[in-house]
Amino acid sequence: MLVATLLLFLIPSCLSYCDLDCKRLEDDPSKMVWTERATYCENLYPDSTCYAQYEGQPNVTAGGSAVRPSFCLGPTDANGVTTENPDTIAYAKRYCAKRCGYCCVTEDHTCNWTIPSGYTAEIQKICKEVTWDKCLNSVEYRPIYAKYCPNYCGFCMFNGCVDAVSSCSKDPAVCRSPAMLTFASQYCKKTCGYCTACPDTRTDCAEMVRLYDYCNVVSRLQKKKECAKTCNMC
């Protein structure tokens, strides 16, 4: 109760919507629940692997108030006290973010961007009503999310350009088919290389890839800043 009271004192306008490490305060100030964005991503590891690694731990669900799995935070001693470990947390965020309720604090979901022109009241409403299903499957809205509210769907690293049809990447042959050229240019922009606002800011990206396997060893944020085109982040 003391923690909730302190939070209310520090952020009195946060009831029902402030995102506190993927949680929010309920109208009942003694209760915090998971936001939908806690699980607005996919685990990098297969779901079966993540659930096996954290077997027997609480499940993170939107609106639920279960504690975050202790294995996602750090070691737990014989008295049941968990000590947060930065390496454990970083591992959980990278490989099992959805299982651990870390989606909203991953690189893909925490970008700062300048809202481009054309941000109308209608687009604001579309962004406000986003769901994870729409992030994955809406041919109409995915390009809008990428351009105007990329943090909701985990599009922060895509420089405003995504495939409207999310399955394009599973069939890259569509990019080479003359009969599918119109479809590819409209609906498979990322997979087929039709994005334009995605330059390399370094002049030696190809050399870095050849010498150091650059695209596979640096962070996604660094790749986006330096060699987005070479590392296929467009």
Q: State pLDDT tens for residues 180-189.
A: 999 999 999 9
Residue 163 lies in a domain: no
User: What distance lies between CA 194 and its chain's CA centroid?
Assistant: 23
More confident residue, 120 or 2: 120
pLDDT, tens digit (0-9, with 9 covering 90-100), for 47-58:
999 999 888 899
- For residue 53, CA distances in Å to 39, 92, 100, 162, 226 come to 17, 10, 11, 32, 34
Closest CA to 71 of 32, 36, 28, 100: 100
The answer to whether 4 touches 30, Cβ cutoff 8 Å, is: yes
Residue 26 has a CB neighbour count (10 Å cut-off) of 15
Task: Find the domain containing 58 and state its range.
Answer: 25-105
Domain stop point among 72, 105, 138: 105
pLDDT, tens digit (0-9, with 9 covering 90-100), for 14-71:
333 344 688 887 666 667 899 888 998 989 899 999 999 888 899 999 899 888 999 9
Domain stop point among 56, 84, 105: 105
Residue 204 lies in a domain: yes
Domain stop point among 70, 87, 105: 105
Q: What is the pTM of this model?
A: 0.67
* Domain count for the chain: 2
pLDDT at site 188: 94
Residue 150 lies in a domain: no
